[in-house]
Structure 1
Amino acid sequence: MLHLQRNLCSAIFLLALASSAFAQNFQPPRTPSYGQVPLLQVAPDGMVHLDGPYAAYSNPGYAAPAGTMVGQPVMSQPLPSTAPSASTEAGSFSDYFFRAPIPPQYDHRTGFFGEFLFLRARNAEVAYALPIDGPVLPVLGNEVPIGSTAVVDFGYDPGFRAGGSWCLSAESSIAVQYTYFSSNASGSASINPADGVLRSLVTHPLGANAATDSLDSNASSSIDYSLIDADYRGLIVGRESCETMCASAVNYIIGGRYATMDQDFGSNFTAAGTTSVNTNINFTGGGIRLGLTGEQHTTARGLFVYGSGIANLLVGEFDASYQQTNTFAGTQAFTNWSAGRVVPVVDFEVGVGWVGPRRRLKLTGGYMVSAWFNVVKTEDWINAVQTSNFSNPTGTLTFDGLTSRITWDF
């Protein structure tokens, strides 16, 4: 009996010692770090225990009957893809248009523009026929006019200008633009034989059969020019006030221009045969350009006024030709002429405009004048051929009219 008691006491002591050692060595499952997917602990009774960050371990051990399937921890799943969704991209696109910082009005921007021109060439008309009181000696100056002089003159015609700018800094940029304009004019004249005849004003007076009078005549004329401008633009004055709701900007321009101009004229005089006169004048040149541009804004409504003045100094070459032919006599007069010229061109423009709320869209409309000096014109060239005086065929051409521009700045 005593032996049995000793064995029982020894068993209790060993059991207590083992329990103490197990308790000291027990380590609870690792608590998931913040940001990881928590582990789901499934107990034998079907309950799910969530071990989140800093959560105490619950039910570390279970007294399950023999043969019971104990649930296993659910493994963490990979995090979803972080690729931007369509809505995120759409948000970024809308942020660009509606939430981006609004720059000052005087800042230089990267952008592009298109412009519609509606211009008229002036001082470019050509008088080609004069109604007189009957056939007279074939020498200009002996006729008596009896009606309106037939003149081919230009009206308003469309053109365009397009280009873009590249921002170098908030105070400077580079701009490139291309301009094209083409104008055509035509006219005709006729007279009753009982009233008189038409005397040509463009044929050579000393050519064979040159002053043959006619009853019907017609003429056409055209002027085309193309311009390529490349400029550096810098800010001189730029200010914007929130108190007065006004902004202003003044910039200087320094750059270069390449220009071509083509003038064509043709006329026909019908009598027994047809006498025709055709001329062509081409100019090609390039040079420097200097100027100023300015804008004054009222920022409350987005309205502004603008103006610009630019001087171009073109160095180039004029090539001119004259030919007179007759149906029966063939070529009656023909000559060519070339000369180098310095052609000053002055461009002025004023107008009004509107800037969109985010200062990206800009609309302008205005009036422009472009004056070309020291130019060989068609009328002056014909007069030089008729008088055989080629010392200084020169004149001034002007182009004026309306402009309308749309600009988009980034």
Structure 2
Amino acid sequence: MKTRFFVSLAAVAVICFGGQSLNAQYPSQMAPGYGYQVPNGMMPMGQPVMPMGQPMMMPGMLPGAPVAPAAFAQPSPFGAPAAFIPATPAMAPPSQVIPAGFHGDCGGKGCSGKGCDSCSKGGKGGACHQWEFYGEFLYLRPRDAEVAYAVPFDGPIVPPANNPRVQVGTVGVLDMDYQPGFRVGVNKIVDDCTRVSVEYTMFDGGTNDRTVRGGNAAYVVHSLVSHPSTATAAQDFVQADGRYDLTFDIIDTDIRKLFYNDCDLKIGWVLGVRAAQQKQQLGVNFAGTGTETVATDIAFNGLGLKFGLDGEATIGGQWLAYANMSGSVLPGVISASFDQGQSYDPVVVDTGWKAGRIVTVWDLELGISRVSRCGNYRVNAGYMFAAWTNMVQTDEWIDAVHTNNFVDMSSTMTFDGLVARFEARY
């Protein structure tokens, strides 16, 4: 009898003092569904929220959650075990809680590969895409590529020695303005840092011009492209019509890899192969007492190595600034032809030239991007500059034919203008 009394007294003490210790670890909580605080040190008997004989639930426990093992509980005088240590999972501190919308692919210096932004689309948001498709509109102007082909002047067709001709009108120049082009490509994502790219660029520019002698019948139009040794009185032209075309086609196959990647800045290198073709075609028709035609054709074909750097930086919200720069070393062949004919002699001059060349192409593009909320779409707008070095240009080739000097023909041709791009990522 005494033993049963002391055992019951010990159980009551454990319940009382264990409950006080437990409440010290958990502040007063709101009773679920009641809107008032649970008093500290509530006894298991007589509580309004738990039926007698049921284990007490602590904050954070789900209904049916396991309680402490039976070894930690002793029978109470009321027949219910004294469960005083709930088996609740540990709660992470606030500093370790991941906020909604967190992008786990921002890995600082390097690439972490720690997931991607699902954007509530089952993991198909911006960072989870596998393919990139894009189309780009180019609006470029060739520079340092103009050709002066005719000029009105007053005086004899074949002037006396040391007696220069007198110009009486505007020089006829074939100089292209801004012309449209396009670029299309596809990128295959290999991993968080690496992608393989295939791209095609096309530019097709051209211009027309006409030069007339004016209202004075004494004036004539003089050819600036005909071979000077063929000048005769029959070349007393009254007008000249010229056409000049310049085109290029480029195919790039690249590997692009990031070496710096965080949430606000990405920088990577580019290494690949480039195939390029450029053509310059000139045709000028002169009309007067007779007719004369001058035509030239220059073509370059090359294949070589491409290298460069790409980068983009967040400038606020869904806006990015980007910069792309690259260089290409293209061993290839340049060929050129010159043909001149007249109404009474269809073949006056017929010559050609061909040589191996290493042409370098330098590209720079700067601009801004607007990215969609999930990163699946983006629109770019920027400025592009390109330089083709060690080329042979049309005016240079014509001068070489006129002087019979084909040494050191080497020029730089540039293109610049605006670019606009739409990109889709899936």
TM-score normalised over the length of structure 2: 0.69
Aligned-partner Cα distance in 1 for 2:150–2:345: 21
- Corresponding residue SS for 1:206: helix
Matches within 5 A, 1:221-370: 221-240=244-263, 247-298=264-315, 301-370=317-386
Aligned-partner Cα distance in 1 for 2:185–2:234: 50
Aligned 8 A contact 1:303 1:355 in 2: yes
Aligned-partner Cα distance in 2 for 1:210–1:368: 48
Q: Which amino acid aligns with 1:356?
A: S
1:90 — aligned with what? Answer: none
Q: For residues 173-228 of structure 1, what are the alpha-carbon distances to aligned partners after superposition, in whole Å with 9 as ceiling and x for unaligned? A: 11010001100101001113435211100000112649823111110000011000
- Corresponding residue SS for 2:226: coil
1:201 maps to 2:241: no
Aligned-partner Cα distance in 2 for 1:390–1:268: 25
Q: Which has the larger radius of gyration?
A: 1
Aligned 8 A contact 1:150 1:187 in 2: yes
1:148 maps to 2:170: yes
Q: Which amino acid aligns with 1:407?
A: E
Aligned 8 A contact 1:138 1:211 in 2: no
Instruction: Select between 207-216 and 330-339 the one with higher mean Cα deviation.
Output: 207-216
Aligned 8 A contact 1:127 1:152 in 2: yes
- Corresponding residue SS for 1:147: coil
Q: Which amino acid aligns with 2:296?
A: T
Aligned 8 A contact 1:119 1:156 in 2: yes
Aligned 8 A contact 1:285 1:316 in 2: yes
Q: 2:137 aligns with which of 108, 116, 120?
A: 116
Q: For residues 258-298 of structure 1, what are the alpha-carbon distances to aligned partners after superposition, in whole Å with 9 as ceiling and x for unaligned? A: 00111100001112110110000111101101100110114
Q: For residues 7-54 of structure 1, what are the alpha-carbon distances to aligned partners after superposition, in whole Å with 9 as ceiling and x for unaligned? A: xxxxxxxxxxxxxxxxxxxxxxxxxxxxxxxxxxxxxxxxxxxxxxxx
2:185 — aligned with what? Answer: 163
2:156 — aligned with what? Answer: 135
Aligned 8 A contact 1:367 1:403 in 2: yes
- Gaps spanning 5+ residues in structure 2: where? 1-116
2:397 — aligned with what? Answer: 381
Aligned 8 A contact 2:157 2:233 in 1: no
Aligned 8 A contact 2:126 2:376 in 1: no
- Corresponding residue SS for 1:331: strand
Q: Which amino acid aligns with 1:125?
A: E
Distance verdict in 2 for CA 1:153–1:258, change over 3 Å: same
1:220 — aligned with what? Answer: 243
Q: Which amino acid aligns with 1:132?
A: F
1:189 — aligned with what? Answer: 211
Q: 2:146 aligns with which of 109, 125, 135?
A: 125
Aligned-partner Cα distance in 2 for 1:104–1:405: 17
Aligned-partner Cα distance in 2 for 1:285–1:210: 44
Report the identity percentage.
35
Aligned 8 A contact 1:292 1:309 in 2: yes
Alpha-carbon offset, residue 96 of structure 1:
7.7
- Corresponding residue SS for 1:154: coil
Aligned 8 A contact 2:118 2:125 in 1: no
Matches within 5 A, 1:51-66: none
Aligned 8 A contact 2:236 2:289 in 1: no
Distance verdict in 2 for CA 1:104–1:268, change over 3 Å: closer
Q: Which amino acid aligns with 1:311?
A: G
- Corresponding residue SS for 2:374: coil
Q: For residues 118-162 of structure 1, what are the alpha-carbon distances to aligned partners after superposition, in whole Å with 9 as ceiling and x for unaligned? A: 111111111001121122426898312222111011011111100
- Gaps spanning 5+ residues in structure 1: where? 1-94, 241-246
Instruction: Select between 136-145 and 154-163 the one with higher mean Cα deviation.
Output: 136-145
Aligned 8 A contact 1:249 1:294 in 2: yes
Distance verdict in 2 for CA 1:108–1:101, change over 3 Å: closer
Aligned-partner Cα distance in 1 for 2:307–2:160: 49
Aligned 8 A contact 1:115 1:405 in 2: yes
Aligned-partner Cα distance in 1 for 2:327–2:257: 17
Alpha-carbon offset, residue 104 of structure 1:
7.5
1:29 — aligned with what? Answer: none
- Corresponding residue SS for 1:169: coil
Q: CA RMSD in A?
A: 2.2
1:395 — aligned with what? Answer: 411
TM-score normalised over the length of structure 1: 0.71
Alpha-carbon offset, residue 349 of structure 1:
0.3
Matches within 5 A, 1:92-103: 98-101=120-123
1:175 — aligned with what? Answer: 197
Q: Which amino acid aligns with 1:253?
A: V
Instruction: Select between 339-348 and 185-194 the one with higher mean Cα deviation.
Output: 185-194
